[in-house]
Amino acid sequence: MSAYIAKRLLAAIPVLFGLTVIVFLIMAMIPGDPATAILGSYATPENVEKLNRDLGLDKSLLQQYLIWIANLFQGDLGRSYTLNRPVLDEVLERFSATLILAGTALVLCSILGLIAGVVSAVRQFSWVDKTITLVVLVGISIPSFWLGLLLILVFAVNLRWFPASGMYAIYGGGGPLDLLHHLFLPALTLAVVATGVIARLTRTAMLEVLRQDYIRTARAKGVTENRVIYRHAFKAALVTVIPVIGIQAGFVLGGAVYIETVFQWPGIGSMLVKAISTRDLLLVQGGVLVVASAYVLFNLAADVLQTVLDPRLR
């Protein structure tokens, strides 16, 4: 088992390496002169030249990459031009906020999705099943950024139950309770789509598993129906659902871009949107790299969890 985990960790290294290559190439692919692109058309030639030198753009692509990677290992992702501070500092600060939001959403969608899916499958064709199916369909069809706006309008503006934006109250804020208060609406909005996807898949997986021969065997040996469903079938269904939860983590991390913009959550998503519109590409690069690496590690965890459940994968 531990040998397998070690193997998986080793296998993640080339993926992370590939990630840096792609992120680097994306920067290198910017059409035209990058410095001009970054600084805008009003840049003075001196500034352009200086930036080119700073970015090392006068060197070959491979050299540039090696320098970049070497700097990366020293924790140097460059400086943000718009914020005038090291990219890494900004990115890490922002990322912790995103992690709180996306993590909460992911826990929420996994729990809700699994419960909804199992209930739906167990009570197939009942009104419960039909209601869940319809709600799920609405959930995956609704634009999350719009849902966020609606929730703000109803619960923040009209009912004043929750704050409309931010992570902490500006005056007298702070503390976990304040955070939870601010977290509720954005986390819920972010979880909606993923909950729908997980619920659908869980339902299908449960129905599929319940037709397997080994379920018949369990019944034939006199196991109670509850045990058949919640032990035999659920465990087998979980094996198919876990990788999907891993993929959903990507959707949640990505979806955070919208939600953070709508709720003005000081996370990496809203930072990226701003950085893209201000063409602060070093910041984009750093942000993408950190989020993608986190996602790779998360998928790794999902893989390992799946292997723990399914001995055939070892």
Would you tell me the crossing angle of helices 87-122 and 281-309 to the nearest 10 degrees?
40
Residue closer to other proteins by CB (options 167, 238) is 238
Q: Residue 158 Cβ, how far from other proteins at the closest point, in Å?
A: 10
Name the H helices within the chain: 2-28, 34-39, 45-55, 61-73, 87-122, 127-141, 144-151, 176-209, 213-220, 225-227, 234-263, 268-277, 281-309
264-293 positions binding other proteins, by CB under 8 A? 272-273, 275-277, 281, 284, 288, 291-292
The residue from 61, 66, 107, 309 that contacts other proteins (CB under 8 A) is 309
81-120 positions binding other proteins, by CB under 8 A? none
Q: Are 182 and 260 in contact (CB under 8 A)?
A: no
Length of the chain equals 314
Number of chain residues interacting with other proteins (CB under 8 A): 80
Residue closer to other proteins by CB (options 179, 273) is 273
- In angstroms, the CA 289 to CA 287 distance is 5
Helix (H, G, I), strand (E, B) or coil at 281: helix
Q: Residue 312 Cβ, how far from other proteins at the closest point, in Å?
A: 5
- In angstroms, the CA 136 to CA 138 distance is 5
Binding mask 18-47 for other proteins (x = CB under 8 A): xx--xx--xx-xxx----------------
Considering the rule CB under 8 A, would residue 259 count as an interface residue with other proteins? no
Secondary structure letter of residue 143 according to DSSP: -
The residue from 78, 163, 255, 267 that contacts other proteins (CB under 8 A) is 255
Helix (H, G, I), strand (E, B) or coil at 86: strand
Residue closer to other proteins by CB (options 71, 278) is 278
The amino acid present at 250, given as its one-letter code, is: G
Residue closer to other proteins by CB (options 7, 53) is 7
Residue closer to other proteins by CB (options 169, 273) is 273
Q: Residue 86 Cβ, how far from other proteins at the closest point, in Å?
A: 20
Closest CA to 195 of 145, 240, 142: 142
Considering the rule CB under 8 A, would residue 122 count as an interface residue with other proteins? yes
* 86 bridge partner residues: 79
Q: Residue 62 Cβ, how far from other proteins at the closest point, in Å?
A: 19
The residue from 100, 253, 271, 282 that contacts other proteins (CB under 8 A) is 253
Q: Residue 175 Cβ, how far from other proteins at the closest point, in Å?
A: 28
Q: Residue 294 Cβ, how far from other proteins at the closest point, in Å?
A: 9
Considering the rule CB under 8 A, would residue 69 count as an interface residue with other proteins? no
131-160 positions binding other proteins, by CB under 8 A? 137-138, 140-146, 149-150, 152-153, 157
Residue closer to other proteins by CB (options 71, 165) is 165
The amino acid present at 119, given as its one-letter code, is: V
183-242 positions binding other proteins, by CB under 8 A? 204, 206-208, 210-214, 216-225, 227-228, 232, 235-236, 239
Residue 310 phi/psi, 5° resolution?
-115, 105
- In angstroms, the CA 2 to CA 216 distance is 34
- In angstroms, the CA 14 to CA 27 distance is 20
Radius of gyration of the chain, Cα coordinates, nearest whole angstrom: 24
Q: Residue 174 Cβ, how far from other proteins at the closest point, in Å?
A: 26
